Amino acid sequence: MTTLVLAALAQLATTSPQSVADSGLATAWGFTPFPMIWTDYREQSLRFEDTIVFFNHRRMRYELNGDSLEMFKPISWFHPDDSVSQDEIDNYSFVLAHRDTDSIVLRPYRSSRFAPIAHERTEEYLFDTTSTFTLYNPLRLIDTSLSFNRMLYRHQSIFHGEIDFSYIDGHISSRVSLSNRRQEDNEKWVMIDNTKHLYFYGSKFATRMTSFRKYHDEHALKQGYYQGLLDDSLYSALIHLLMLCNPDRLQTSNDQSSSSTRTFEIYYGKAYKKFNCDSPSPFMIAITHQIDDLLMAVPLIPSNAAKKMFENFNEPQGR
């Protein structure tokens, strides 16, 4: 699912609504709601794919009836042995209180089709029928004035167990063993600046995983610091994605939390922001996947300078 999110978001940067073919939603909404991703720039999102919708990454079918939007999981999606009824699974119903090419406003309501619907068991405000929330078309809010300086992605966690890699018929395969309860530090840092340089640090475990994915040889890279250079195409794709994500608007929960296992920091213009990549925000998913893709695509060489670049990331010079 996350790969599809990345592909769809990447497409937004180069696709206009008029260039995409019409769909059945156009009749109900009064316009073609492509590129089919709507977000509040926090953690709420809708992504349409033909007859399927992803609501905050929950995969469901949907129906549009006038101003009502109903999302549900058909019983046919469940295994025959599953003992479920339609009112026990995810069903979400909204009134389209407002819609245009820039935004949609949704108001939850209790569906008569799937009664009793399980709204009472759903957390937060989504099923408070007095509330509304607004989702925006990110294609209409691209920050083309974004002046990128540098960004830093950090992933730090503990992996429990051992992992064995293999490469079979062109596909990466791995086997995880938890029997010995071995702990490995999984620490990975990636920094990119406006000179198109990429700097990478990986712990022994993180470098081993990166090395196998990149070279199909888990010993090709050793623990330590590396650097590489993005070509014009890779750098341009990154900048387009950052413009689309619009850091001025983007928010995630617990952005300053020290407990986040993955964080993303960016200096742009005279601004600085830090985001929690553990957030389900589609933009955070897209950014982290883009960083992983760049790490795979850019040739890396050992670098003594990389350590100093990481140490000086938050220094004021060069912003």
80 and 220 share one domain: no
DSSP sequence for 245-310: H-TTT---TTTT-TT-SEEEEEEETTEEEEEETTS--HHHHHHHHHHHHHHHHS--EE-SHHHHHH
C-alpha 302/C-alpha 313 separation (Å) is 19
The CATH number of whichever domain residue 159 belongs to comes to 3.30.1560
- Token couple for 271: 């601004």
86 and 164 share one domain: no
C-alpha 48/C-alpha 17 separation (Å) is 14
Residue 316 belongs to some domain of the structure: no
215 and 104 share one domain: no
290 and 212 share one domain: yes
Q: E-assigned strands of 161-196?
A: 162-168, 171-177, 183-193
CB 17 within 8 A of CB 35: yes
* Domain stop point among 110, 140, 170: 140
Full pLDDT tens readout for the chain, 319 residues: 334 444 444 444 344 333 333 334 444 444 444 446 888 887 788 888 777 888 877 788 888 877 888 887 765 665 555 555 555 556 778 888 888 888 888 888 765 444 434 444 444 445 556 678 888 888 888 899 999 999 999 998 776 556 666 656 655 555 555 555 566 677 899 999 999 999 999 998 888 888 888 888 878 889 999 999 999 999 999 999 999 889 998 887 654 444 458 899 999 999 999 988 877 677 888 888 899 999 999 999 999 999 999 999 988 754 4
Residue 317 belongs to some domain of the structure: no
91 and 210 share one domain: no
Report the candidate in 286, 288, 312 with the shortest Cα–Cα distance to residue 45: 286
Beta bridge partners of 158: 185
**pLDDT digit string (tens) for 180-195?**
556 667 789 999 999 9
Rama region for 139: left / alpha / beta (φ>0; ψ in -120 to 50; rest): alpha
168 and 300 share one domain: yes
Residue 21: DSSP 8-state: P
* Domain stop point among 87, 120, 140: 140
Using DSSP, state whether 107 is helix, strand or coil: strand
- Assessment of whether the complete model's pTM goes beyond 0.85: no
